Amino acid sequence: MKKILFGVHDTEECRQAIHTISRLFGDQKESIELTLLHVIPETIIYAESGIVDYEMIEDRENHESQRILQSFFNSFKDLGFTCQTLLKTGNPIDMVLEIASQYDLLVIGASESSLLHRIFNSHQNSFVNASPISVLVAK
């Protein structure tokens, strides 16, 4: 069984990666374990910003992240894929690299608004090189 980790972010390019995965692995749906990963970056709020309801911010982030994961889950379900969702909080780079070794392939969407660009900025090549598994950057 092939284990694929798909780093999910709410961008059009990431949504296009759904079709790439379907084209590449659609005939192997039964032999693929697909995990959809979304990482909520840690929220940093400085004391000078005034009174802040941290719980409200965390709840909003969690709700939005669950919505994103559910949307991707439904898209794959419509294409006949079985998948699971995984929601983590922390440094996105660390979270992806921490669990990547449990998978055979990491899939991410490509472009300036992609997960890689937003999180890793100009360090895309460094991230790809640091990954313990192969990385597919889908367009």
CATH of the domain at 44: 3.40.50.620
CA 104 to chain CA centroid, Å, is 15
Spatial separation of the C-alpha atoms in residues 104 and 17, rounded to whole Å? 17
Q: How confident is the model at residue 93 (pLDDT cuts 50, 70, 90)?
A: confident
The total number of structural domains that make up the chain: 1
Comparing 119 with 71, which gets the higher pLDDT?
71
pTM exceeding the 0.85 threshold for the entire prediction? no
* Domain membership of residue 64 as a residue range: 2-138
The confidence band for 23, taking pLDDT boundaries of 50, 70 and 90, is very high
- As a whole number, mean pLDDT of residues 106-120 equals 64
Give burial (CB, 10 Å; 0-12/13-18/19+) of 29: middle
- Residue 129 is predicted with a pLDDT of 81
pLDDT category, 122, cuts 50, 70, 90?
very low
For the segment 37-89, what is each residue's pLDDT rounded down to a tens digit? 999 887 666 555 556 666 777 788 889 999 999 999 999 999 999 999 999 99
Task: Give the DSSP H/E element, type plus range, for residue 5.
Answer: strand 2-7
Site of tokens 């979304």: 38
